[in-house]
C-alpha cells in the first residue's frame, strides 16, 4: 500500500505531498511537531501528545487551525488509511507561507501535516545488551533562548549533538545544560537508578517533558519505587547502579556504558528490565 500523507484535510500520495518553498517552516524552522507511536492500530497517549503540540504552538505564538478533537480524528484516520498497526506518526504544523523576512505577521495558510509510517526501531540487541553513549560538547539549548520543552521544527541543537555522538561511535549522546548539569539525550530522556530509587532531571534542567518519561514514572511509582526529579551531574551517572533512556521510539532501553565507563555491572539492571516489561505491557494494553 502506497503511503498517504495528510495535508490540511486531504490525503495525498507520498510523492504528491508538497508545501510551498516560501513556508516559514522550511525557511526558518518556524513550526512545531510531535512524534507518536501506535500499537495494534491504537495511538499511545494521544491526548498527551496533542496537548503538548498545542503548548509548543502557543509558546511560539502560533495558532493551530483546527480543534484538538479534529486533530485526534485526523491522526487516527491517517493511521487507518495507511493500514499501520505498529508504527510511527509524525504531526507537523508550520507557520505558513510568507515573505523572505522574519516577520511572522507576513505569513498565512499554516500547514497541518500528518505522516504515518513503519518505525525504524533500535536493533533488539540494544534492548538485550544495552547502549553505550557519550557526553557531547554541544550544550542543550538555554531555556531563555529556545526552551527545550518546545518541540519546534528547528532541531539543529539535537542534530549537532547527534552528529558528535555518531562520530564517537554511539547512536545516542548525552547533552548537558548551560549549568553543566545532565539534561537529556538527543532524542530521549534519561534516568539513573541509585539504591533502587529512580533519579531523573527536572523540567527546569532544560528537558522535554517526555510522554514516555511520564508513563515510566507512573509505572515505577505503581511498582512501589521512589522517583525523584533532581539535578544530576555526570558524576551521578557514572556511579549509578543502572541507567536507562525513555522515548517514543526507544520506549525503555538500558545504558550500560557512558564515556567508556561501565554503569553498574555493565549490563541492563533489574530495575530497567522490569520497567521495560511493564512499559511494553502498558503500551499494548
Which residues are within 8 A (CB) of 25 and not within 5 positions of it... i.e. 6 or more apart?
19, 31, 92, 94, 95, 96, 111, 153
C-alpha cell at 172: 545516542
CB 280 within 8 A of CB 227: no
Closest to 110 in 3D by CA, of 146, 159, 69, 57 = 57
| Beta-carbon count within 10 A of 224 CB | 7
Question: Which residues are known to be catalytic?
Answer: 151
Sign of CA pseudo-dihedral 192, 194, 195, 197: negative
Helices of type H across the chain: 24-28, 46-59, 68-81, 124-129, 156-167, 211-222, 234-238, 270-283
CB 256 within 8 A of CB 267: yes
Amino acid at each position: 500500500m502506497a503511503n498517504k500523507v495528510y495535508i490540511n484535510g486531504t490525503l495525498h500520495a507520498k510523492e504528491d505531498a508538497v508545501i510551498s518553498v516560501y513556508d516559514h517552516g522550511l525557511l526558518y524552522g518556524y513550526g512545531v511537531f510531535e512524534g507518536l507511536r501506535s500499537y495494534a492500530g491504537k495511538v499511545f497517549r494521544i491526548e498527551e501528545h496533542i496537548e503538548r503540540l498545542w503548548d509548543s504552538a502557543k509558546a511560539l505564538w502560533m495558532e493551530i487551525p483546527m480543534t484538538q478533537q479534529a486533530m485526534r480524528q485526523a491522526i487516527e484516520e491517517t493511521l487507518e488509511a495507511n493500514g499501520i498497526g505498529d508504527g510511527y506518526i509524525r504531526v507537523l504544523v508550520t507557520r505558513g507561507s510568507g515573505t523572505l523576512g522574519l516577520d511572522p505577521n507576513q505569513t498565512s495558510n499554516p500547514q497541518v501535516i500528518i505522516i504515518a509510517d513503519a518505525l525504524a526501531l533500535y536493533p533488539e540487541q540494544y534492548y538485550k545488551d544495552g547502549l553505550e553513549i557519550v557526553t557531547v560538547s554541544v550544550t542543550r539549548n538555554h531555556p531563555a533562548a529556545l526552551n527545550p520543552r518546545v518541540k519546534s521544527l528547528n532541531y539543529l541543537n539535537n542534530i549537532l549533538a547527534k552528529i558528535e555522538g555518531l562520530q564517537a561511535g554511539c547512536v545516542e549522546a548525552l547533552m548537558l545544560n548551560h549549568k553543566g548539569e545532565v539534561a537529556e539525550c538527543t532524542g530521549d530522556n534519561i534516568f539513573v537508578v541509585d539504591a533502587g530509587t529512580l533519579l531523573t532531571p527536572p523540567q527546569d534542567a532544560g528537558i522535554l517533558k517526555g510522554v514516555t518519561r511520564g508513563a515510566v514514572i507512573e509505572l515505577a511509582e505503581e511498582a512501589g519505587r521512589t522517583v525523584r526529579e533532581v539535578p544530576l551531574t555526570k558524576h551521578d551517572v557514572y556511579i549509578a547502579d543502572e541507567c536507562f533512556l525513555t522515548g517514543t521510539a526507544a520506549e525503555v532501553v538500558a545504558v550500560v556504558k557512558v564515556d567508556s565507563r561501565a554503569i553498574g555491572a555493565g549490563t541492563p539492571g533489574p530495575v530497567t528490565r522490569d520497567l521495560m516489561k511493564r512499559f511494553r505491557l502498558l503500551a499494548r494494553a
